[in-house]
Amino acid sequence: MDYLQQSFNIKFEYRVHFTSGLFDVSNPLFHEFLQERDIEGIKQKILFIADEGVIQAHPDLLEKINNYFEAFSTVELATVVVISGGERAKNDITYLTDIVNAVNDYGVDRHSYLAAIGGGSLLDLAGFAAAISHRGIKHIRIPTTVLSQNDSGVGVKNGINFNGKKNFLGAFTPPVAVFNDEQFLTTLTDRDWRSGISEAIKVALIKDAAFFEWIEENARQLAHRSMPEMKYLIRRCAELHLEHIRSGDPFETGSSRPLDFGHWSAHKLEQLTNFEVFHGEAVAMGIALDSVYSGLKGMITEKEVERILDVLLKIRFEITHPLMEIENENSPVLLGLQEFREHLGGRLTITLLTAIGRGKEVHEMDWKLVKEAAVQLKQMKMNAF
């Protein structure tokens, strides 16, 4: 047998910064980051992709960015491209080509930066554009929602939706840095503020019982937009996600994705509602469904199920939706199990709970028990009114 074999390792390293007023000239954090990475003899550029909704909520942001790069001229500001945020950014492939064309038009090379300012959908889109342009441009994430600051924005995944399937096209490409600016959270709608909390509940349920207890104790403060509690929640949730990425399978080469507890039905529900249900809202319903299912399987106690549902309700999440109702094994939401398996490759792998703070992977789901769980949640919602 005659062959050549190659093996090598690549080290990825990035920081998640927590700050306030990132583009205030009095805040040197962003400048210091760029200055540390200055390359002598090469003029680096930075291209910003900004969420239109963020610009509307912060009408002085474009002026602040321009003033910042006039004050700190280590890197040349190419331009700021403003595009629609939300799931629309990932559903329309023309947004991807718009970003790639901007990279070309402004001469943004591999020594330069593509920085994205927005929610998780825009970060996913911009990160994918950075990954495929010149085979990889340095990507900076500036998340502006609770969901992106505590979850998607600190991870290594990028992508867009294609052929009606969530994240069908994408790449695993770590950012060079993440900057979480708390000021962006102040203008979120109540719905956006609340939506991101579900991912913190998720990671607490599968990894950190003490964190779940903290969320229980502070649920009402979180629901009523108390910033100190939200800052702690975002930091702890981001920390747990980073720990998982560091110690697990960051590029998902296997069939396991434990951080997607509650997501198989959530992804399908988003699609079925044409993304009218936000990702975090769908995840809350997915958590409820899989928690009740875990209880029906005898994996967790009835008391633990009650605690989980109580937290979701205190934060004012819906725990089910008409499209999560199940009539038979061909019900639309159950197709999410097959799509989940296809997306991961290999066999179906779903994370369920064996205790609050501890997840367990299973490789099959009894659709009749899933139906029973959905019925229980529907009844509980009806009893609440």
Q: What is the CATH number of the domain that holds 174?
A: 3.40.50.1970
Task: Provide the pLDDT for residue 329.
Answer: 87
Residue 9 forms part of a structural domain: no
180 and 282 together in one domain: no
183 and 200 together in one domain: no
65 and 133 together in one domain: yes
Predicted model pTM: 0.90
SS3 358: strand
> Is residue 259 within 8 Å of 350, Cβ to Cβ?
no
- In sequence order, the 6+-apart residues with CB closer than 8 A to the CB of 196 are 145, 146, 147, 148, 149, 150, 151, 234, 280
- Where a domain ends, among 135, 170, 187? 187
Sign of torsion, CA 103 104 108 111? positive
Q: What is the CA radius of gyration of the chain?
A: 21
Counts of helices then strands in the chain (DSSP H, E): 16, 10
- Where a domain ends, among 166, 187, 208? 187
247 and 282 together in one domain: yes
Task: Provide the pLDDT for residue 25.
Answer: 95
> Is residue 277 within 8 Å of 321, Cβ to Cβ?
yes
Task: Provide the pLDDT for residue 130.
Answer: 95
Sign of torsion, CA 51 57 58 60? positive
204 and 178 together in one domain: no
Task: Provide the pLDDT for residue 87.
Answer: 84
- Where a domain ends, among 187, 222, 254? 187
Residue 1 forms part of a structural domain: no
Task: Provide the pLDDT for residue 144.
Answer: 96
Task: Provide the pLDDT for residue 179.
Answer: 97
Structure tokens belonging to residue 221: 């403060």
Residue 111 forms part of a structural domain: yes
> Is residue 72 within 8 Å of 31, Cβ to Cβ?
yes
154 and 284 together in one domain: no
Tens digit of pLDDT at every position of the chain (385 positions): 899 999 988 888 899 999 999 999 999 999 999 999 988 888 899 999 999 999 999 999 999 999 999 999 889 999 999 999 888 888 888 999 999 999 999 999 999 999 999 999 999 999 999 999 999 999 999 999 999 999 888 888 899 888 877 788 999 899 999 999 999 999 999 999 999 999 999 999 999 999 999 999 999 999 999 999 999 999 999 999 888 888 766 766 654 566 789 999 998 999 899 889 999 999 999 999 999 999 999 999 999 999 999 999 999 999 999 999 998 888 999 988 888 777 666 678 899 999 999 999 898 899 999 999 999 999 987 776 5
Residue 170 forms part of a structural domain: yes
181 and 199 together in one domain: no
- Amino acid symbol at 307: R
Domains in the chain: how many in total? 2
Count Cα atoms within 13 angstroms, Cβ side, for 204. Answer: 24
State how far the Cα of 263 lies from the Cα of 325, in Å rounded to an integer.
Answer: 16
State how far the Cα of 221 lies from the Cα of 242, in Å rounded to an integer.
Answer: 25
Q: What is the CATH number of the domain that holds 377?
A: 1.20.1090.10
174 and 220 together in one domain: no
Which helix (H) or strand (E) element contains residue 5? none
183 and 212 together in one domain: no
Task: Provide the pLDDT for residue 348.
Answer: 85
Domain extent for 306: 190-383
According to DSSP, the residues that pair with 362 across neighbouring strands are: 350
Task: Provide the pLDDT for residue 303.
Answer: 97
155 and 224 together in one domain: no
Residue 10 forms part of a structural domain: no
State how far the Cα of 195 lies from the Cα of 197, in Å rounded to an integer.
Answer: 6
State how far the Cα of 114 lies from the Cα of 140, in Å rounded to an integer.
Answer: 6
183 and 223 together in one domain: no
State how far the Cα of 224 lies from the Cα of 238, in Å rounded to an integer.
Answer: 21
300 and 344 together in one domain: yes
Residue 2 forms part of a structural domain: no
> Is residue 133 within 8 Å of 114, Cβ to Cβ?
yes
Residue 237 forms part of a structural domain: yes
- In sequence order, the 6+-apart residues with CB closer than 8 A to the CB of 127 are 116, 139, 141, 157, 158, 159, 171, 173, 175
Residue 71 forms part of a structural domain: yes
State how far the Cα of 197 lies from the Cα of 275, in Å rounded to an integer.
Answer: 18
